[in-house]
Amino acid sequence: MINITLPDNSKKQFETAPTGFDVATSISEGFARTCVAMEIDGNLTDLSESIEKDARVRFITTKDKEAVDILRHSSAHVMAQAISHLYPGIKLAIGPVVEDGFYYDIDMSPVSEDDFEKIETEIKQIIQEKHPFIRQKISKKDALDRFRDDPYKTELISELDDDTISIYTQGDFTDLCRGPHLPDTGMIKAIKLMKVSGAYWRADQAKAQLQRVYGTAFFDKKELKQYLYVLEEAQKRDHRKLGAQFDLFSFHDEAPGMPFFHPKGMNLWNALLEYWREEHKKAGYVETKTPVMLHRSLWERSGHWENYRENMYTSSIDDFDYAIKPMNCPGGMLLFGTKQHSYRDLPIRAGEVGLVHRHELSGALSGLFRVRAFHQDDAHIFMRPDQIEAEIIGVLQLVERIYSTFGLGFHLELSTRPEKSIGTDEQWEMATSGLEAALNAYGKDYKINTGDGAFYGPKIDIHIKDALGRTWQCGTIQLDMSLPERFDLAYIGKDNTKKRPIMIHRVVYGSVERFMGILIEHFAGKFPLWLAPVQAIILPINDDLLPYAKTVQSDLESNGLRMDIDARTESLKKKIREAQINQIPLILTIGEKEKETKTLSVRSLDGKVTMGVDQALFLENIRAHIRQKRSDSNFFNA
């Protein structure tokens, strides 16, 4: 008798060894149709696998996250099968799952996206035939014999330590693979080839160049449609394109990976930092500033010279080694140590928007998302152990307040002690318990990433969600037990003895540059009024009105508005159209009537026009709208 225990601790009994599909069917046929694979005592495997002894079984259904990777890996096999049908004689290398899809590296004549339609037609035929994925275990010797005509597979097999090799067959196609796979090809409901590029075998330019064909797959056609929509929309919103269009920033060969911000980009930059400072002041933070370049001895003390030097820019001055800081933390440690602190002084919340430099590989650079010079909105909170929970909650509330102002949702992840770490069990227990208590008191759901913490302490990662549903890891809250020890930081406790402070590293924007790039794409360049690089543009209807229009511009600018004026001899219609293309929230038209009555004709981006607005009333309403950080375009009503 075989006893199967399910996740809810219910049991199923079978007289002979059942397959996973047998067990799933015994629950219900409808449930079995949704199953993709299973876990037997924690080991992921195919549904066709026989369960030979008592076991705990968990089924992976189409709703589970793991199922998508299984689907896409199976889809890579189907794509390779289709290409082998259409292009006989090809040699297959590897076909892994990657973020948002899969690819297969193939030794074949070049293909292009023009070939995708016929490949997809062949893929659909294979899917319709519902070939089961059949797993076999063969000896390493037999595997080498079977794949003797494929140099890439034989190379991979030769490097395996296992004497038994697993292969999968669907229809007339067999591939080397650990699995698991879908029950059959018919479970692939939506598949799309995305792009093709060249790739060297094992990323070695001395080896063969292969064709890397990318694809993606989903269990539902609606999911594929939504994914393609987001991709198309993301291309339209690409911050690099919009940054050039709206004259915000640029990059130059003279400083690779280091952005140059234009006047309009600085308007946006300053609006972000003014808001950051406003919120941090309310939350009890002080602001500090530390040098960009510091002596080697500091980086040796912090551990960066040993563990991070390859990413640091270094220089020799007066026969001493220096490094441009890749992070702000060590300078913050020196600041704390400049004077003696009492337990009554804590917590100390010290923020710094510091310029840091990291040597990223040139191939990894990507607009504002991956740069070599950027500003971290760091803060270091020095506190007593009994203050951990309250301080974490305070940071989470600050984060929620700031992100909600931009219309960004977020979720939380707690990462615990990794295998390689420093500190005692007691320290880790205290720190992790503190984070968990704070998260539970905060009251929002969170995910636990076991073993994914920093080597010096557990952390909370904050992932924001933008207008397209994409997630970005920006904010982080890290408890550090290493740097206070390395820098011998102390405060005088209530018992008049020296105590070691607990320290939090935290960022909200993360990198100001990257956060700006995210916001450009989130808003598609259509920023709310308070954030817009140019908040209003004045359009005089003829040249005679230009002097008066400049007077109005000067008056509004003196009241804090970011203004522009279009003095070109173009038609009013064309000026309005270009202002709309440039996503300027307020378009102010001035004619003779407006000059005589000291009023404005106000057009918003939603097309609404309000005539005869008194200038004083306009200024009062607009300043209130900006002060409240509102995101709507209802400028003259609450």
| Residues involved in catalysis | 329, 358, 376, 378, 380, 459, 505
Residue 618 CA to residue 586 CA, distance in Å, equals 11
Q: Which residues contact 134 (CB under 8 A, 6 or more apart)?
A: 48, 168, 169, 170
Pair 549, 590: CB distance under 8 Å: yes
Residue 583 CA to residue 580 CA, distance in Å, equals 5
- The residue whose two tokens read 């030097």 is 309
> Which residue in 514, 414, 506 sits closest to 472, CA to CA?
514
- Judged on CB neighbours under 10 Å (0-12, 13-18, 19+), 198 is exposed
- The residue whose two tokens read 């808003």 is 523
Q: What is the DSSP string of 321-381?
A: EEEE-SSSHHHHHHHHTTS--BGGG--EEEEEEEEEE----GGG-BTTTB-SEEEEEEEEE
Sheet with 314-317: strands ordered across: 293-295, 320-324, 314-317
Q: Radius of gyration over alpha carbons of the chain, in Å? A: 30
- Report residue 157: phi and psi, to 5°: -65, -40
> Which residue in 104, 70, 105, 94 sits closest to 188, CA to CA?
70
Residue 441 CA to residue 145 CA, distance in Å, equals 61
Helical H segments across 220-352, by residue range:
221-237, 239-245, 263-282, 296-302, 304-307, 329-336
Please, which residues bridge with residue 13 across strands? Answer: 3
Residue 70 CA to residue 146 CA, distance in Å, equals 25
